[in-house]
Structure formats: structure tokens, C-alpha cells
Chains A and B, each alone.
Chain A
Amino acid sequence: AQSVTQLDSHVSVSEGTPVLLRCNYSSSYSPSLFWYVQHPNKGLQLLLKYTSAATLVKGINGFEAEFKKSETSFHLTKPSAHMSDAAEYFCVVSGMNTGNQFYFGTGTSLTVIP
């Protein structure tokens, strides 16, 4: 079975400081992992994805994530937060069933303080 746990429901950072959003996964095989961002009243936008290539994945808007198999983690980071980063972030693991069903974490709400 596949699942993800987002360890923080809310994260608050000051503008210009680093961002760390934590995600741990559970999977019986080598998974595909994703981070999506949802701005208020918007749909979900893909930030980045890991699909068994390089373990350090770079995404849009300066975000990156590192796949660590030994720690079953896929944490999302950004060196310097911007006000526009304030949003809800979802960690997702893809299943091995026919449709590669997505299993979503519960989300982390990021607040950026000016």
C-alpha cells in the first residue's frame, strides 16, 4: 500500500528565509513522488516530480526536493521564500494500479510573513 504523511499542517516563514516542507512516504516499491501547490481558490499545479532518475529534483519557482530512500522522505525546500509562495502544498505518491492512482498527503499551509 502507498501513503504519504506531511509532518506539518502549517508552516510560517519570513520572506527571504528558507522553506522546508516535510513529507514521508510509505510504499512497497520504488515510488513516483510529486509536490503540487494550490493557491487560494485555484486548482493544483505541479511543482516537481521524482520518477527514479536523479534523487535531487528541481521544480518551478525555485523549489526543489530530495528523494531519500533510507529515510523514506521527499522534503520540499526553497532557499528564499517569496510572498507569492504562500499557498497549500501537497505531497503525492503514485500507486502501481492501472491508473497510477494518486495518494495525497493532508497538505501543508505555508504562510510567508513580510
Chain B
Amino acid sequence: DAGVIQSPRHEVTEMGQEVTLRCKPISGHDYLFWYRQTMMRGLELLIYFNNNVPIDDSGMPEDRFSAKMPNASFSTLKIQPSEPRDSAVYFCASRQGLAGQETQYFGPGTRLLVL
């Protein structure tokens, strides 16, 4: 298995621009998580999906952030408009839905820099 795939790996954009981050979870995994990592706040859960349905988006910072999962093999995290404080590494993770299978598998992350 190729693992969790994220694209792009690096993104540099200017304030006010729209940014779209993409994630392909491991095939057969029922849960998908989006995290943000910064030096100041560490790892934060933004939102997670179960069977393509958003379950908890309480970690999404504000209305500028949105996430979708149109099918079991693809999810996007969109920031519109982007701000310099959104600069961070964004990770996607997935896991199986079976009881006792809580292990999350992380993608390599997208490094976002908003100028």
C-alpha cells in the first residue's frame, strides 16, 4: 500500500489567495483526519470524517477553512482567503473503522507558507 498521500508537499502563496490541500487515505480506511502542526500550538485536530461524513469540525479555526470528502478515496482542505497565520504543516491521517483499530496512519504533510 502506498500509505496516505498528500499533495502538494509544499505550497507558497500570498495572503488572500485560495489554498486547496488534498489527501488520499489508505484504501479501506473509514476514518480520515486533518491536523495542523505549528511550533506554537503543536498538533491540532481540525476535522475528521467517518465514511465520508464530517463528524467533528470543532477544531476548524474559522469560516475561512472548509473540508470535504466527496468519496472514500479523496478529501480536500480549503482555506479561502489565506492569511499569514495559516502558515503551518497540514497532515492528513486515516484509520480503519474496526473496533480496536485506533492506529492512525499519517501522510507526509503539506508545508504551507502564506506571505
The chain A residues found within 8 Å of chain B, CB to CB, are 32, 34, 36, 41-46, 49, 51, 90, 94, 97-102, 104, 106-107
Contacts and interface: CB of A to CB of B under 8 A. Distances in A.
- The 3 A-B pairs of least Cβ separation, nearest first, read A100-B102, A44-B106, A43-B106
Interface in B66-115: 91, 93, 95, 100, 102-109, 111
B56 A99 contact: yes
Contacts of A94: 102
Interface string B19-41: 00000000000010100000000
Nearest to A36: B106
B106 A101 contact: no
Interface residues of B, number: 23
Given A32-B102, A101-B56, A106-B42, A43 B31 contact: no
A49 B56 CA distance: 24
Interface of B: 4, 31, 33, 42-43, 45, 48, 50, 55-56, 91, 93, 95, 100, 102-109, 111
A49 B104 CA distance: 11
Contacts of B108: 42-43
In terms of DSSP, what is the predominant structure of the interface of chain B? strand
Contacts of B50: 98-99
Contacts, number: 45
Given A90-B43, A107-B42, A102 B104 contact: yes
Contacts of A49: 102-103
11 contacts: A34-B103, A41-B111, A43-B4, A44-B91, A44-B93, A49-B102, A49-B103, A90-B43, A99-B50, A101-B48, A104-B42
A26 to B, nearest CB: 17
Contacts of B103: 34, 46, 49
A41 B33 CA distance: 19
A101 B58 CA distance: 12
Nearest to A42: B108
B20 to A, nearest CB: 19
A61 to B, nearest CB: 17
